[in-house]
Structures are given as C-alpha cells and as structure tokens.
Amino acid sequence: MRVAFLGLGAIGAPMAAHLAGRYDLVVWNRTAERARAFAGRHGARQAATPREAAEGAAVVLTCLPTSREVEALLDGPDGLEAGLAPGTLFLDCTSGDPATSRRLAERLAGRGVAFADTPVSGGTNGAEAGTLTVMVGSDAATFERARPVLEAFGRRVQHMGPVGAGDAMKAVNNALLAVNIRAVGEGLAALVKAGVPARTAVEVLNASSGRSFVSEALVPERVLTGTWPQTFRLALLDKDVGIALGLLEQTGVEGPLLARTGELCAEARRALGEEADYLEMIRVVERQAGVEVRG
Ligand code: NDP
C-alpha cells in the first residue's frame, strides 16, 4: 500500500521513519533537501510536489506547524488536493485547531476523501521509539481505517470523538504542560534562592505529591544538566495554548490560569524567538530571578 507523508520536521521525520519499513512510502518536505536525505536514509521515494506525493497514495499524512499550513498545502495546481483520489484517507498529525480541521474534513469529503485529525504526544523521543499517544478525531469507520497506520508510530491510538476532538484533546494536554513548566520553574527558582540545592529539591519533589512529567523527566534531563536540547519549539507550544484558550471560550469555561499561562508563553516566545525550545520558558524565570536551576 502506498502511503505519503508531508512535513519531515522535528517530529514528522521520526514518525515517517516507522512507516518506511511497512509501506511503499513517498515523502515531501518544503525544504526539498530534507526529503532527499530522508528518502536516501529510509528507502522512501521523494515527491517533487504535494500533488505528486498524493497521487496513487491510499493514505496521506501531514505534520506541519499549524492547521493553516495544512490548509494552504491543499491549494493550487501542484497542491495536495489536486492529487487526492476518491477513497483516500487523509490523516493530519499536526497539533491543529478544531475549526480548521472541521473545515478541511468538509472540503475533502466533497472529493470522497475521509479526514481525521490525529495529533500526537510523546515528543521526539516517543516518535523515535514508536510509542506516541495519538488522539483521533473522526467518525468511527475512518478511525478503524486509520488505526493500523497510526500504530506504526503510536502505542496508544485513541478515538476521542468527531473531527476536531483530537485537536481539542491535544491542545488541553499541551496547555497543562505549559502551566506545569512555568510553575515548576518558578518553584525551583525560589527554592534554589532560598538555599536548597537544585538536585535535592527535584529529587524530593519527585518523591512527593507535587511531582509531574516535567519534574520527573524534563527537568532532570534538560535543566539540571543545562543541556537544553531543541526538540519542540516554544512557538508551537504557544500556538497550542492559544487553541486551548479558544476551546475554553467556545465552551463557556472561565480559564484565568490558562489565560495567564498563554500570556507568559507569548512573552517568552517574544523574548527567546521562534526557534527556542519549549523548556526554555524556565530560562525566562531564571533570568528574572537571577538564579540557575542546575546540579
Ligand atoms: P518543525 O518546526 O520541526 O517542522 C515543521 C515542518 O513543517 C517542517 O517539515 C517544515 O518544513 C514544514 N513547514 C513549515 N511551514 C510550512 C509551510 N508553510 N508549508 C509547508 N511546509 C511547512 O515542527 P515539529 O515537527 O516539531 O511539529 C510539527 C507538528 O507536530 C506541530 O503541530 C507541533 O505542535 C506538533 N508536535 C511536535 C512535537 C515535538 O516534540 N516536536 C510533539 C508533539 C506534537 P521545512 O523543513 O521546509 O522547514
């Protein structure tokens, strides 16, 4: 079966690598050199245009920064839509926004193409290991068609509800991640300034009730060591918090905590730039506090 994957970024490339062994894989990336290198490494075929990638593919997957870029990729004579045949399955792994996903689903349904929003969680490590959580928004029949393909890189592939429900789930997850990063940064900066060694503070936190994925995995590996690897752009986390805030607004839920977190993410993004890693939000706290959380 031919599968096309478009968007070989930080997470898209390791996801697509799992498809290479199982399917006849065609890849496309805006920066063609990345697709060329990927195709050479994994025995995939490189398409010259999104249209060419879609032609003859039974399943098309996209993984771009936002839903906006996915929608734009469909347009034009060389666009993705021009290559899609009726019966194709379109899986968007972008952490997208529910309204755009619903619009895309409607547009593609007009061509007989089934759509699911299929954002993922688990980071680049999870993508490499093939252990991602995949949150699927689609009708039940589309989910059953999508499941075996998504299981190539997903350990938990979960149907969340209709189109848009995967995006909504992913946005809330990442909003909670952002709250946690900022809160752990603030708490640890204060403890270090109060004279508690950073590593001891983190160890005790992780043996106590305030622990979290951020304190257990991210801070020991990346902050205490001062390595700050670039795996997920802060700009993308900021986008996710914005999507979550839109969901709260639409559902009539007051969200002062998430709203403030959104402001802090946006501030950090402005200060650190578009390429900064998401965990560098803690750097902003460190700078303000005049302390480093290392040890
Ligand atoms: P990157 O910024 O690393 O990669 C983005 C990809 O999109 C690249 O292939 C880039 O191409 C392509 N792209 C950007 N703009 C356009 C455009 N206008 N037209 C066509 N292609 C474009 O992002 P990630 O891989 O990290 O993230 C992709 C999605 O996955 C995002 O929605 C993100 O929120 C989500 N995600 C990321 C995780 C992570 O750990 N990194 C974890 C979970 C979800 P080019 O090579 O030319 O720049």
Centre of ligand 1 to C-alpha 160, Å, is 23
CB hemisphere CA count around 210 (13 angstroms) = 13
Q: Are 53 and 90 in contact (CB under 8 A)?
A: no
For residue 9, give the ligand 1 atom closest to its CA. Answer: 4
- Is 170 annotated in the active site? yes
Residues 6+ apart with CB under 8 A from 40: none
Which residues in the chain come in under a pLDDT of 70?
Answer: none
Residue 95 has a pLDDT of: 98
Residues 6+ apart with CB under 8 A from 100: 67, 68, 70, 71
φ and ψ at residue 128, rounded to 5 degrees: -65, -40
pTM for the structure as a whole:
0.98
- Going by alpha carbons, the residue nearest to atom 6 of ligand 1 is 9
The SS3 assignment for 226 reads: coil
Q: Is the minimum distance from the CB of 233 to ligand 1 under 6 angstroms?
A: yes
Q: Is the minimum distance from the CB of 100 to ligand 1 under 6 angstroms?
A: no
Centre of ligand 1 to C-alpha 55, Å, is 22
Centre of ligand 1 to C-alpha 293, Å, is 29
Residue 228 has a pLDDT of: 96
Centre of ligand 1 to C-alpha 205, Å, is 33
Q: Is the minimum distance from the CB of 7 to ligand 1 under 6 angstroms?
A: yes
Residue from 159, 170, 239, 283 carrying the catalytic annotation: 170
